Structure 1
Amino acid sequence: MRKLMKPLAIAVMSIMFVQCGNSKFDIAKGKVGKLTTKTTVQEIDDIFKQDSVVKILSEGAKGNNFFQEDDQYLVYEKGGKHLLTITPKEQLDSTSTIKSIEVFDDRFKTKTGLNIKSTFQEINANNKVSKVESSFSSATLFIDDLNATITIDNEDLGLKDFSTQKVTVEQIPDLAKIKSFTIWFN
């Protein structure tokens, strides 16, 4: 019995180490690294205590700016690399949960390998694009299984800037690059 316990304990510890080892950079529906749908703004500093968090706070309801921007928490590695931009649901509220997280670092990836440096071919091969919305300068892809949006520049789509041409999934070139990658926590 004792001979069996040691290999079993090593196997369990190895599995736990492998699963926890990459969690800092895992992306899934409702999860980016150690951030989840339950994470509050007041927890951000503690979660990223090894990194640098820059807070860009709005003026809230008392401010004079009618076109109010959301609060943003920009997370940088100590070396200066931009990792994430976190936007809370409620401005100037430390108990607010997170509305969205924009990913800037390619180490953050889904279990299928989707990250900020993926091409459309990689996105389309492993994810279902449920909808495409066109704007003057880009197309936004909606990926429901991640509750994510991915933006691709019109230039990568072969369109001129300020074009309002409707874009379909079939029109997007395989090598089109991601401009932005946002996970939504709603």
Structure 2
Amino acid sequence: MKRIFFAAIITNLLFTSCDSDSSFKVTADRVGELTKETQVNELKTIFSNDSVVDQNSGLSEELNVNAIEIYEKGGKQLLSLMPTKDGNPKTIKTVQVFDERYTTEEGINLNSTYKDITEAYEISRIETLISSIVIFVDDINAYFTIDRDELPGELRFNMDAKVTGAEIPNDAKIKYFMIGW
């Protein structure tokens, strides 16, 4: 009886640890293993099984072109990171998600639609840009970009039109998914 009890506990712990895998989970203060306190010099350790491409050297640093790109072994881009410009040690300021496995607790990822976002979160504000619409969700420090091509005809071509949430089609797809701390 004791063996069965201990076997059940061990099995439960194994399944719990698998379910709590946070390597692709997005929350208000995390993107996978990254947090806003993550230092740039820790990235090679955090992504030891992946490729870290740091463009922060020489001329690129002078020009403020300082993206750090994370690629999975095999070439698929996972993330693009923008470190803070000031401060020492440098930390991560913005994360752009390129891999659909990065998912919020509410199930939102790069394959989601505008409807998915509105059903999962309260929209904080919507900004209308020349070629896209940016939807801000302050609850998770995220913003989602939807291409203007996803909008109805009159809004697609009227660059002066201020787009409201009611005018964005439910099936509009996310083009970019970013977290900003």
Q: Under a length normalisation based on structure 2, what TM-score does the superposition of the two structures give?
A: 0.88
- Which residue does 1:153 correspond to in 2? 147
Could you say which residue in structure 1 is the equivalent of 2:112? 118
Contact 1:137–1:162 under 8 Å retained in 2: no
Aligned counterpart, 2:96: 102
Residue aligning to 1:52 = 51
Aligned residue in 2 for 1:184: 180
What is aligned with 2:20? Answer: 19
Mark the CA change 1:94 to 1:116 in structure 2 (over 3 Å): closer, same or farther: farther
Q: Which residue is equivalent to 2:6?
A: 5
Q: Deviations over 1:6-57 (max 9, x none)?
A: 322322232123213xx11111111111111221100111111111111122
Instruction: Give the SS at the match of 2:90.
Output: coil
Q: 1:73 — aligned with what?
A: 68
Residue aligned with 1:128, SS: coil
Does residue 87 (structure 1) correspond to residue 82 (structure 2)? The answer is: yes
For the 8 Å contact 1:74–1:82, the answer to whether it is kept is: yes
Aligned length: 177
| TM superposition outliers: structure 1 runs of 4+ over 6 Å | none
Aligned to 1:140, the other structure's residue is in SS state strand
Q: Counterpart in 1 of 2:42?
A: 43
Pick closer, same or farther for the CA change 1:76–1:11 going to 2, 3 Å: same
SS in 1 for 2:150: helix
Shift of 1:97: 1.3
8 Å contact 1:133–1:141 — kept in the other structure? yes
Q: Which residue of 2 aligns with 1:141?
A: 135
- The alpha-carbon deviation at position 59 of structure 1 amounts to 5.7
Distance change (3 Å), C-alpha of 1:121 and 1:157: same
* Separation of aligned partners in 1, 2:56 and 2:113: 33
Percent of residue pairs bearing the same amino acid type: 36
Q: Distance in 2 between matches of 1:172 and 1:88?
A: 32
Q: Which runs of 5+ in 1 are unaligned?
A: none
Between the aligned partners of 1:166 and 1:136, the Cα distance in structure 2 is 11
CA–CA separation in structure 1 for the residues paired with 2:73 and 2:48: 10
Unmatched tracts of structure 2, length 5 or more: none
Cα distance change of structure 1 residues 52 and 163 upon mapping to structure 2, 3 Å threshold: same
CA RMSD in angstroms, aligned pairs only? 2.1
CA–CA distance in 1 between the matches of 2:69 and 2:161?
33
